Structure formats: C-alpha cells, structure tokens
Structure 1
Amino acid sequence: MFALEIVWDPSKGLDLGFFMLHYYSVMWIVAFLLGLNIMKRIYKHEGQSEKSLDSLFIYSVVGIMLGARLGHVIFYQPELFTEDFFSIFLPVKFKGGFEFTGFQGLASHGAAIAMIISMYLYNKKVLHKTVLWILDRVVIPVASGAVFVRLGNFINSEIIGKPTGSDFGVVFKQLGETFPRHPAQLYEAFSYVFVFLALMYFYWKTKKSEQEGFLFGLFLVLLWTVRFFVEFMKEPQGDEYFILMGFNTGQLLSIPFILIGLYFMFVYKSKRSDVEKTRS
C-alpha cells in the first residue's frame, strides 16, 4: 500500500551569533515585502502617489503585527497579561529567564480586526477616499501574505493538525513525536493561494473593483471559510475558551467575518455610488 509519511525536523532559524533569526519571522518579512510590491502595482494603476504607499506600508505593518499579537493573547493566552506582560509586545520572554523568541503567537482574527482599524486611520490621515476603497485593494496582498505566514507556522511545527491515524501525514520531530499528523498549515497555505488568485482575477479582469466593498467581502468569505473547515483538522490552540456545538474558538470567530463578507458582497450599496448615479 502506498504510504506518504514525512519526518519534519528543520532548524528553527539562522543563527546570527547574537540572536536566532527565526524562519517564522523571515516569512512575515517576505509577506510584507511581497505585499508592498503588489500594492505598488495597484497604486500605480490607480494613480496614487508613492508617498501614500509608504504610509500604507507603515500603517499595515504596525497595525497587523500589533493586532495579531493582541488577538492571540486575548483569545488563546490571556494569562500573559499578568504573568509576562512585556512579552506581549516584545519578541522576547522574561518569565523563567530572558530569551529572544522572535515574533510568535500571532492570531489571524486579531490581525484582521487591526487591519480594518489601521486602514480606517490611514484613510482618514493620508488617503481621504473611503475605508472600503482601500480595503478592497489591500486584501489582495494580505491574502498572499497569509500563505507565507502559514508556511512559517509549518516550519515552526506549530498550529499542528490532528493525528491522521494512518501512514499519511507529517511527523513533527521537533515536538518529540513519532506519529504522523495532518499538515494543517500546508492545507491552509495551499488554499490561500487560490484566495489570492481569485482576488487578483476579480480586481484585474473584471469591474468588481468598482463595486465598493465586493473584494473586501469576497476576501472575508473565502479566507474565513477556509479557516473554518481547516480547523476541523487542527489541534486546539492553547486553552479553548469558546466551544459551542462542537466548534472551537477559531471557527466561532470565523463565522462573523463570513457573514460580514456576504453582506458586503450582496447587500451593501455605496452611498457614493448612489450619488454618482443620481448626478448622471
């Protein structure tokens, strides 16, 4: 019988002498740099200035990283607020001795909320269009970035899948295991490639970018639907504080995003579009 069992035991990162540069951190850097290049092409197409693009990059990095970290702590590791507060915001831990940990413990739900808030602030201070205008475009590089973040999780042997109970799967040797698990991180990363391609298609090949809120809604529906179903194959993350009808924290948090996405795709109508139609 054909068996596909992979023993996964990579190094954690690059030893630079004075600290370890974790591959997970590298994946985040790649995600942001690729995202910057994608948005540069989009902004050029939209006739936006490079100065506004530079500001967008800063707002995105600060907002998403801060939101992702706070989201993880709030939903999965709230004890850090009392046990090791400064480790929430710094890539180090102090409890049990000082240690450089890199950027670990980041939640996509928190990142999504922070992205919306940071884009609101960016639009108010810099762009002066509408929040949905920038969200419709920024979700394209965000989708591509999600691919690399999940690859980073795979390299770190974190957010692991459940045991397969067969000869198929990945043995996470870093965790001291000898049995195969579902490579849930790779399932998710592979699915996000198609989310990214779908958004690229609708932006460049259709006029859906003119329907304010559609691309943002499509992103929410596709990405969080993927997350919802992949969660069935994942081990619980930290302490699961919310479990309802067999759904875990990640799934319950995904449902509102999916519903919001459907609203923007099929219900929402821009007031600006109505004004333009009236004038015409």
Structure 2
Amino acid sequence: MPPLLALPFPAIDPVAIAIGPLQIKWYALAYIVGLVGGWYYAKRLVAAPGLWGSVRRPTAADIDDLIVWVALGVVLGGRIGYVLFYNLAAYLSHPAEILAIWRGGMSFHGGFLGAVLALLLFARRRGLNGYAMLDLAAVVVPIGLFFGRVANFVNGELWGRAAPDFAYAIAFPSGGPVPRHPSQLYEAATEGLLLFCLMALAVRRFGFRRPGLLGGLFVLGYAVARTACEVFREPDPQLGFLFGSGVGALGGGVTMGMLLCLPMVVVGLVFVVRALRGDTRPRPRLEREAAEPEARSA
C-alpha cells in the first residue's frame, strides 16, 4: 500500500502501439514525435525570410535532409554520452551492451553534443552558417524535450527524490515505498514547455539575424532549468551524489546532471556575447558567395 500522502502511479502500458509482434514503446514514440514536430516547426521558420535578414537561410529540402543527420547525432551521441558519463565501468565489463539501446540508457548532454556535431557538419557541407543552424535547432529542440520527459514519467523511470510530506508526491512502482517528486513532469514543464515558449518569443524578437544568439540563450536556459530540476531528481544509483549527501527534501548534493550543466553555462554565455558583438556573422564577401547558389536555384 502506498503512503497516505502519495498519489497512485497511473497504470499506463509502456507499449504505446502493438501490431502483432511489432511493439512501439512510448519512449520511442516520443523521439519520433519530437523529431517530426521539430522538422515541421523548422520548415515553418525557414519559410519566413523576414526572420533571417541577410543570413542565408536553408531551403525546405535542406530541412528534409537535416532531420536524418540530427536523428543519427541524437541517438549516437545520447548513447555514447550515457556510456561515458553515467555507467562506463559497467559497459567496459560488458561492451556488447553498448549496442543494446532498446534496453534504455540515453544522455541528453551526449545527444546534445551529437546533434551539434551533426548540425555543424551539415552546415559546412551545404554552405550554411553553422551558428544560424544551431539557432534553428535551439528553437525546436524543446518539443522533443517535452515529449521525452513525459515518456520518462510514463515509463516510471528517472523519478525524483523522496518527498513523504509533499501533497502531490507519487509512489513509483520501481521507486520503493516512499512517495517521490514527479521530477520528470517538472522537467517536461521547464525544459520543454517553458523553454519552448521563451525560445518562440526570442525568435520573434531577434530572428536568426544574429547567428549564435538563440543557440546561446537555449543552452543557458536549459542549464538553468535542468539544474533546478536536479534538486528534485534522484541521482542515478550507480553514481549517487558526486559531492554532498543530498540529505533532506531539498538537499545540497551535487549530481552528474548539475556538473554537466556548468560548461553549458559558459558556452551559452560565450555564444550570446559573440553574437551580440557581431563576431558570428559571416564577412560580406562570404555572405554574398553563400547567397549566390540560392539565387541561381530560385
């Protein structure tokens, strides 16, 4: 029996769609919806020339190709990041498990780095401004973050710290008898919904005319939101608290998620400062050369 103050965990089947032996789980569906939603929103943004000014904008066909690059970057980066940051010793003992991505184990920070690398390589190959492409991704990424964190909740994983006196605590099936913060929903609300709204406002205000600005704002916003949510989230059992004990409802322990957000703050600030100074804009000659292929294809 769950404690008196705990809300019951909703009995949701982790399999969203089942057709014979084929099963699609909510987590996989969250990735698909996030990528498709981001693709649709990105196509809407590149169709608005007023947002880009003199910065060369990608074509609709570029976005169609880019989604494949980003998907590979997210999956490969997310898996490699989880192996390196969260469970390296276990995977070194059983290296074949590294390929078993269907058993779970993805890192946002690793997926973020994989997506950044894919975006920069794609931009270089197509003659686009790399900073502007990162800005475009920054505006659409919160869509995937929202659905991903909701899927974490449905799966009953990555639950929060013990909260026996919290009125809306939930007794997760795999979280023991103690009611816990539904930290997955906190992250969906902040890293997903709130950050999406803030980035939508930013793109309306600044557009992509200052390459790197939106990307820097996103990195800063995510780092702040993730760090705040880590205060409520139970650290990974194989790591625990890196520093401090985390004793109490809002203990002061430092987690791996918090630590990985520190360089994001530095990178975000650098991007914002450089964008505001105009350092990320291409030189006029290069900008004209980059625009010529688009003019010829029009």
- On whether the aligned pair clears a TM of 0.5, the verdict is yes
Identity, % of aligned pairs? Answer: 24
- TM-aligned CA deviation for residue 209 of structure 1: 2.6
Contact 1:208/1:214, CA 8 A, preserved across alignment: no
**Residue 181 of structure 1 pairs with residue 180 of structure 2:** yes
Give the secondary structure class of the aligned counterpart of 2:216. Answer: helix
Q: How many residues align?
A: 264
| Structure-1 residue corresponding to 2:48 | 45
Q: Which residue identity is paired with 1:197?
A: C
| Structure-2 residue corresponding to 1:7 | 9
1:34 to 25, 33, 37: 37
| Structure-2 residue corresponding to 1:258 | 265
Contact 1:12/1:22, CA 8 A, preserved across alignment: yes
User: Pairwise mapping of residues 187-266 of structure 1 onto structure 2 (< 5 A)?
Assistant: 187-191=186-190, 192-203=192-203, 205-240=204-239, 243-244=242-243, 246-266=253-273
Contact 1:80/1:88, CA 8 A, preserved across alignment: no
For structure 1, which segment, 162-171 or 226-235, has the greater mean C-alpha deviation from structure 2 after superposition? 162-171
Contact 1:217/1:262, CA 8 A, preserved across alignment: yes
**Residue 169 of structure 1 pairs with residue 172 of structure 2:** no
Give the secondary structure class of the aligned counterpart of 1:180. Answer: coil
Over 3 Å counting, the alpha-carbon distance change for 1:242 and 1:260 in structure 2 is: farther
CA RMSD of aligned residues (A): 2.5
Q: Which residue identity is paired with 2:199?
A: L
**Residue 59 of structure 1 pairs with residue 61 of structure 2:** no
**Stretches of structure 1 lacking an aligned partner (at least 5 in a row):** 93-100
Contact 2:71/2:115, CA 8 A, preserved across alignment: no
Whole-angstrom CA distance in 2 between matches of 1:267 and 1:53: 26
**Stretches of structure 2 lacking an aligned partner (at least 5 in a row):** 50-56, 245-252, 285-298
TM-score relative to the length of structure 2: 0.81
1:136-191 per-residue CA deviation (whole Å, 9 max, x = no partner) reads 11111111111111111111111110111124311212x27343210000001011
1:189-229 per-residue CA deviation (whole Å, 9 max, x = no partner) reads 011211111111111x2125312211001000111111111
Whole-angstrom CA distance in 2 between matches of 1:164 and 1:32: 34
1:52-77 per-residue CA deviation (whole Å, 9 max, x = no partner) reads 11211011100011101111111112
Contact 1:8/1:171, CA 8 A, preserved across alignment: no
Over 3 Å counting, the alpha-carbon distance change for 1:112 and 1:86 in structure 2 is: same
Whole-angstrom CA distance in 1 between matches of 2:206 and 2:105: 38
Whole-angstrom CA distance in 2 between matches of 1:79 and 1:272: 40
Contact 1:76/1:241, CA 8 A, preserved across alignment: no
Give the secondary structure class of the aligned counterpart of 1:72. Answer: helix
